[in-house]
């Protein structure tokens, strides 16, 4: 059993060529698959942060908003600013 | 389709056609340089460069491989129409064997091609060893022991190459003339 | 459309993973060794599909880029841009695995024969397309310039495919796509076909992911993008 496993990994003496071929292909395909997923996650974060900023800007532009609401909006702006910084930090 | 789009479509098609034509002309003009090797017939006909290094490709004649001292080896290379003797000193690739296609880099010295590098070519046939030995047995049964094919193993049946795959030396000609009997054993 | 693409990309990704697993086990463990090359021929199971996909990806790229050029289809440009890095990756795989296969069988990693050289040209076409599409500040003129290059490069596809017939090369002829029956044993052929399927499904999955990214990037200011960001937990 162990012998046949060792035999399998030996690949009839061509171990280096066979295994490095499969290794290269696996590495490249995984990288290609992961790249758009990571990019999408980054984009979604950025969009979410931008949406928050947009919302708070709209609230601020209201002008005659109650002081309490205004304060809440300012708080939201601060919160979204930290989110944006976090997104910028995680971005490669 | 708007006239503008039609125009762009026609322009695109013309672009592809023009580039295709130009490349086809260039490749035809450069054919000698694109071909990787000369066949023994071409070498015999004097088409190969004289006194310069070039590549020769063909089938190792069955029974022609003679090993000397220190990795020296001589063999004959054929395309079934002409044969050129080759001398080489060095390590041969795993796939080098009688009846196998090879490509050698070197130059003619007199009548002998002195090679500095020998590469093995393999055909597009893939099969397990059991199948080959079964085929060989069937082959021998049909044609008698002396009729071994000159093309290595497994090409004797209809599934082999030689039907326009572009190998100059895989023409489906019976290779008995330089056969010394018996196929080279698989592996 | 964005959501649909992303959902299908995920499903196809899993399907590709399953096919890759089946094909790899079949190719490495179940298929018999070759009568000439022994176990080194098993590189075929990654080499041939990668080489095939490199050409297929280029065909898709050129078609999409051509549609983008003629009909000013934004989706065409997006698909073409998505194809380029993936096609370059397939080409690289084909070249590297080919070298690793060539060393034990032919006796050399590389030779300047027509097949190998034209495949290398394909890699440069992909890289050239990517460079050109990114080079110009104006995204649309960049896409147009790159599309012209893509159309010019189409000429290379028949050259790659027929190089082994038009010229004499060290590379062997086709085994699977030839007329008549394939010159490869059935037990060896089945894992190869599975691998071909795996590469194709993988290609579509990655393409969908990339195109959906392109759409999201381009329309990040729209309402659906914001909804997508919220729906996918963009804050998390």
- DSSP track, B89-136: ESPPPTT--TT-EEEEEEEEETTEEEEEEEEE---S-B--HHHHHHHH
C 106-165 residues with CB < 8 A to B: 106-108, 111-114, 148, 151-152, 154-155, 159, 164-165
* Cβ–Cβ below 8 Å for B127 and C37: no
Helices (H) and strands (E) in chain B, counts: 4, 6
Q: How confident is the model at residue C191 (pLDDT cuts 50, 70, 90)?
A: very high
Out of C13, C43, C209, name the one closest to residue A21 (CB): C43
Contact yes or no for B154/B127 (Cβ under 8 A) = yes
User: Which pairs with CB-CB distance under 8 Å and at least 24 residues apart come from C210-214?
Assistant: C210/A36, C210/C81, C210/C82, C210/C85, C210/C86, C211/C5, C211/C75, C211/C78, C211/C79, C211/C82, C212/A36, C212/A40, C212/C2, C212/C5, C212/C6, C212/C9, C213/A36, C213/A39, C213/A40, C213/A43, C213/C82, C214/C78, C214/C81, C214/C82
The reply to whether C189 falls in a domain is no
Output the pTM of the full model: 0.79
Please compute the mean of the pLDDT values over residues A55-81 and round it to a whole number: 41
CB of B145 within 8 Å of a chain C CB? The answer is no
Closest Cα partner for C215 from C11, C1, C57? C1
Strand, coil or helix: C229: helix
User: How far is C122 from C109, CA to CA, in rounded Å?
Assistant: 18
State the SS3 of B57-99.
Answer: EEEECCCCCEECCCCEEEEEEECCCCEEEEEEECCCCCCCCCC
Q: Chains contacting A with at least 3 CB pairs below 8 Å?
A: C
Interface test with C, best of B34, B58, B102, B134 (most C CBs within 10 A): B34
Within 13 Å, how many C-alpha atoms sit on residue A20's CB side?
A: 12
Can you give the residue ranges of every domain in chain A? 2-90
Residues of A in contact with C38 (CB under 8 A): 12-14
C 195-234 residues with CB < 8 A to B: none
Residues of A in contact with C42 (CB under 8 A): 11, 18
The reply to whether C140 falls in a domain is yes
Least confident of B15-29, C89-103, C216-230: C216-230
The reply to whether C62 falls in a domain is yes
The reply to whether C89 falls in a domain is yes
Give me the helices (H) in C106-185, please: 114-135, 139-153, 156-166
User: How far is A65 from A61, CA to CA, in rounded Å?
Assistant: 9
Q: Angle, nearest 10°, between helix axes C114-135 and C139-153?
A: 170
Q: Is the pLDDT of residue A37 over 80?
A: yes
Least confident of B111-120, C19-28, C94-103, C220-229: C220-229
CB of B172 within 8 Å of a chain C CB? The answer is no
Q: E strands along chain C, which residues?
A: none
Provide the token pair at C84. 């380029």
Q: How confident is the model at residue C205 (pLDDT cuts 50, 70, 90)?
A: very high
Residue with tokens 């000609």: B173
The reply to whether C165 falls in a domain is yes
Contact yes or no for C97/C47 (Cβ under 8 A) = yes
According to DSSP, the β-strands at B72-78 and B54-60 are antiparallel
CB of A8 within 8 Å of a chain C CB? The answer is yes
| Residue B141: predicted pLDDT | 59
Least confident of B24-33, B40-49, B127-136, C184-193: B127-136
The count of structural domains within chain C is: 1
Please compute the mean of the pLDDT values over residues A73-87 and round it to a whole number: 42
Closest Cα partner for C99 from C78, C116, C121, C118? C116
CB of C71 within 8 Å of a chain B CB? The answer is yes
Out of C33, C93, C229, name the one closest to residue A48 (CB): C229
CB of B16 within 8 Å of a chain C CB? The answer is yes
What does the buried/exposed string (b/e) look like for B88-112 if buried means 16 or more CB atoms within 10 Å of the residue's CB? beeebbbbbbbbbbbbbbbbbeeee
Contact yes or no for C149/C62 (Cβ under 8 A) = no
Q: What is the radius of gyration, based on Cα positions, of chain A? A: 26
Contact yes or no for B137/B121 (Cβ under 8 A) = no
Q: Cβ atoms within 10 A of the Cβ of B69, count?
A: 6
Contact yes or no for C218/C82 (Cβ under 8 A) = no
User: How far is B105 from B103, CA to CA, in rounded Å?
Assistant: 7
* Cβ–Cβ below 8 Å for C43 and A31: no
Contact yes or no for C50/C199 (Cβ under 8 A) = yes
| Residue A28: predicted pLDDT | 97
Angle at C152 between CA C148 and CA C153, to 5 degrees: 115
User: Which pairs with CB-CB distance under 8 Å and at least 24 residues apart come from B70-73?
Assistant: none
* Cβ–Cβ below 8 Å for C235 and A17: no
Residues of C in contact with A47 (CB under 8 A): 216, 220, 225-226, 228-229, 234
The reply to whether C207 falls in a domain is no
Q: Is the pLDDT of residue C161 over 70?
A: yes
| Residue C179: predicted pLDDT | 60
How many Cβ pairs within 8 Å bridge chains B and C? Answer: 149
Percent of chain A with pLDDT over 90: 29
User: How far is B185 from C17, CA to CA, in rounded Å?
Assistant: 40
User: How far is A88 from A75, CA to CA, in rounded Å?
Assistant: 20
B20-64 pLDDT per residue, tens: 999 999 998 888 888 889 999 999 888 888 878 899 999 999 989
User: How far is C218 from B96, CA to CA, in rounded Å?
Assistant: 57
CB of A48 within 8 Å of a chain C CB? The answer is yes
Provide the token pair at B112. 């002998």
Residues of B in contact with C66 (CB under 8 A): 12
Q: For residue C94, what are the domain limits?
A: 44-172
């Amino acid at each position: 059993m162990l012998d046949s496993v060792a035999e399998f990994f030996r690949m009839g003496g061509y171990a280096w060529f066979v295994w490095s071929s499969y290794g290269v292909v696996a590495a490249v395909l995984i990288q290609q698959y992961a790249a758009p997923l990571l990019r999408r996650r980054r984009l979604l974060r950025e969009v979410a942060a931008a949406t928050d900023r947009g919302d708070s800007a709209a609230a601020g532009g209201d002008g005659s908003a109650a002081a309490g609401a205004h304060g809440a909006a300012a708080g939201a702006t601060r919160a979204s600013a930290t989110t944006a910084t976090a997104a910028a930090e995680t971005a490669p | 389709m708007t006239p503008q789009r039609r125009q762009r479509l026609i322009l695109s098609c013309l672009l592809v056609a023009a580039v295709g034509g130009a490349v086809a002309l260039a490749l035809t003009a450069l054919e000698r340089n694109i071909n990787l090797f000369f066949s023994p017939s071409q070498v015999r006909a004097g088409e190969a460069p004289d006194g310069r290094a070039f590549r020769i490709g063909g089938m190792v004649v069955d029974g022609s491989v003679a090993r000397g001292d220190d990795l020296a080896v001589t063999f004959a290379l054929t395309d079934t129409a002409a044969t050129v003797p080759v001398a080489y000193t060095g390590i041969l690739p795993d796939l080098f064997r009688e009846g196998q296609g090879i490509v050698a880099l070197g130059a003619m010295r007199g009548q002998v091609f002195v090679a500095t590098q020998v590469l093995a070519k393999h055909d597009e046939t893939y099969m397990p060893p059991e199948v080959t030995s079964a085929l060989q047995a069937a082959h021998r049964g049909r044609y008698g022991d002396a009729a071994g094919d000159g093309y290595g193993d497994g090409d004797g049946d209809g599934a082999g190459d030689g039907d326009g795959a572009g190998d100059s030396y895989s023409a489906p000609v019976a290779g008995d003339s330089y056969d010394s009997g018996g196929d080279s054993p698989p592996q | 459309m964005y959501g649909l693409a992303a959902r299908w990309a995920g499903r196809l990704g899993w399907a590709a993973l399953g096919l890759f697993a089946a094909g790899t086990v079949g190719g490495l463990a179940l298929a018999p060794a070759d009568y000439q090359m022994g176990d080194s021929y098993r590189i075929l199971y990654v080499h041939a599909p990668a080489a095939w996909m490199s050409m297929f990806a280029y065909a898709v790229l050129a078609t999409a880029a051509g549609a983008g050029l003629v009909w000013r289809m934004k989706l065409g440009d997006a698909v073409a841009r998505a194809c380029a890095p993936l096609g370059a990756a397939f080409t690289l795989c084909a070249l590297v695995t080919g070298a690793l296969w060539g060393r034990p069988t032919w006796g050399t990693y590389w030779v300047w024969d027509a097949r190998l050289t034209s495949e290398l040209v394909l890699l440069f076409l992909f890289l050239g397309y990517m460079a050109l599409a990114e080079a110009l500040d104006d995204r649309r003129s960049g896409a147009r310039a790159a599309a012209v290059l893509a159309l010019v490069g189409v000429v290379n596809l028949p050259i790659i495919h027929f190089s082994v017939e038009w010229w004499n090369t060290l590379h062997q002829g086709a085994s699977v796509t030839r007329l008549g029956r394939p010159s490869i044993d059935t037990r060896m052929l089945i894992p190869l076909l599975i691998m071909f399927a795996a590469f194709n499904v993988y290609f579509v999955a990655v393409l969908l992911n990339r195109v959906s990214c392109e759409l999201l990037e381009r329309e990040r200011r729209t309402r659906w993008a914001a909804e997508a960001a919220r729906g996918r937990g963009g804050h998390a």
